[in-house]
Each structure stands twice: as structure tokens, then as C-alpha cells.
Amino acid sequence: MTTASYDIVARICMVSSLLLFVTFFLFVLIYVIRFTRADTLKQVQALALDLPEQGGGA
């Protein structure tokens, strides 16, 4: 493999990694913004952690 082709492969890998990171970051940001209300966010957190919901009950 020549140096030029190695540089091309390295550049493609770097760009694709950056795009993947940005995509995941935006996905998480949109997911959190979607649940801006504190009640909804707490319910989603409790579901994700498999915790009993806090409020009113026993």
C-alpha cells in the first residue's frame, strides 16, 4: 500500500468517525430536547433505569 492510498484511507476513516460522532451527539441532543418537561424526563429516566416511579403511591 502506498503512502498516498494510506493517507486517503486514513482521511476517510477520520471523516466518517467525525460524522458518526456528530450524528450520535445530535440524536442524543434531540432526544433530550424532546422531553423538556421535567415530569416527562423523570419518567423516561425512571424507565431507563428500571426504577419505580416516585410520587403519590406507597
Give residue-wise pLDDT tens across range 1-58: 566 798 999 999 999 999 999 999 999 988 888 766 667 777 777 788 876 666 554 4
Residue 24 lies in a domain: yes
Residue 45 lies in a domain: yes
The pLDDT of residue 2 is: 66
Residue 58 lies in a domain: no
Q: Are 40 and 48 in contact (CB under 8 A)?
A: no
The pLDDT of residue 14 is: 97
pTM of the shown model: 0.54
SS3 assignment for the chain: CCHHHHHHHHHHHHHHHHHHHHHHHHHHHHHHHHCCCHHHHHHHHHHHHCCCCCCCCC
Domain range spanning residue 36? 3-49
The pLDDT of residue 58 is: 46
Counting the structural domains of the chain, the total is: 1
The pLDDT of residue 21 is: 98
| Distance spanning both ends of the chain, measured CA to CA | 68
Residue 29 lies in a domain: yes
Q: Are 35 and 44 in contact (CB under 8 A)?
A: yes
